[in-house]
Amino acid sequence: MAMRCLGMVLLLLGATPGMADEATMPRLTCTLAAPAEVPTGQPVRLRIAIHNGGTRALEILRWNTPWEGRWAAPFVAVSRDGVALAYGGRMVKRGRPQAEDWFTLDAGGTLTGEVDLSSVYIMTTAGSYQIAPHLRLHDVRTVGRGRRTTAEAAAPRPLDCPMAIIRIVPSAATTP
């Protein structure tokens, strides 16, 4: 009996709010919209949307996502004709999240963000570019749970997004 009680206490001590959220978290889906072709020298825009398919609103930490409004890490991998391109954007080290670092995604809601891939990847050569998002939401929780303390575990979760293919074609100005 004592061992069973000790086991329950250890189990409860190991449980975190993040674990409870992860088990009951609504399904998040991701979609991409990209042009099929872009002329060389033009911005290469990628739209990424996240949809909350659940019945509860969520708070999501926007760090290293297209919803942050700037590049702070490579959340997509880009390759041209099978060769990986180097990420040329900034890498940001963070402290504690502030209130403005979060966004609320209502139940049934969708949020779209747009990024210019050519601002952090060299995409000046004609060819077929494969875009593979590697989004990992650093913290997701249901609205109303309150902010976590630094001692509490976050509830990170990957966001499964489809790949996109964009062809960079010679611009009209460069064709003979």
Count of domains forming the chain: 1
Tell me if 7 is assigned to some domain.
no
Its domain, for residue 88, covers 17-169
Q: Tell me the H-state helices in the chain.
A: 2-14, 17-24
Encode pLDDT of 76-101 as tens digits. 999 998 999 999 999 999 888 998 99
Tell me if 2 is assigned to some domain.
no
Question: Which whole-number Å values give the CA distances from 85 to 61, 78, 123, in the listed order?
Answer: 27, 6, 9
Tell me if 123 is assigned to some domain.
yes
The set of residues, in sequence order, having a beta carbon less than 8 Å from that of 139 and lying 6+ positions away, is: 18, 59, 60, 61, 97, 148, 154, 155, 156
Question: Which whole-number Å values give the CA distances from 135 to 34, 43, 62, 106, 161, in the listed order?
Answer: 17, 22, 11, 20, 8
State the CATH number of the domain containing residue 90.
Answer: 2.60.40.2970
Does this model's pTM top 0.85? Answer: no
Tell me if 79 is assigned to some domain.
yes
Task: Dihedral sign for Cα 19, 20, 23, 24, please.
Answer: negative
- Per the structure block, which two tokens stand in for 27? 């399904």
Tell me if 4 is assigned to some domain.
no
Per-residue pLDDT, 25:
61
Tokens 């990424």 belong to residue: 48
- List per-residue pLDDT tens for the chain, 176 residues long: 444 443 333 333 333 344 334 445 668 999 999 999 999 999 999 999 999 999 999 999 999 999 998 899 999 999 998 999 999 999 999 888 998 999 999 999 999 999 999 999 999 999 999 999 999 999 988 887 655 544 455 678 889 999 999 999 998 765 45
Tell me if 176 is assigned to some domain.
no
Tell me if 12 is assigned to some domain.
no
Q: Which residues pair with 102 in a beta bridge?
A: 61
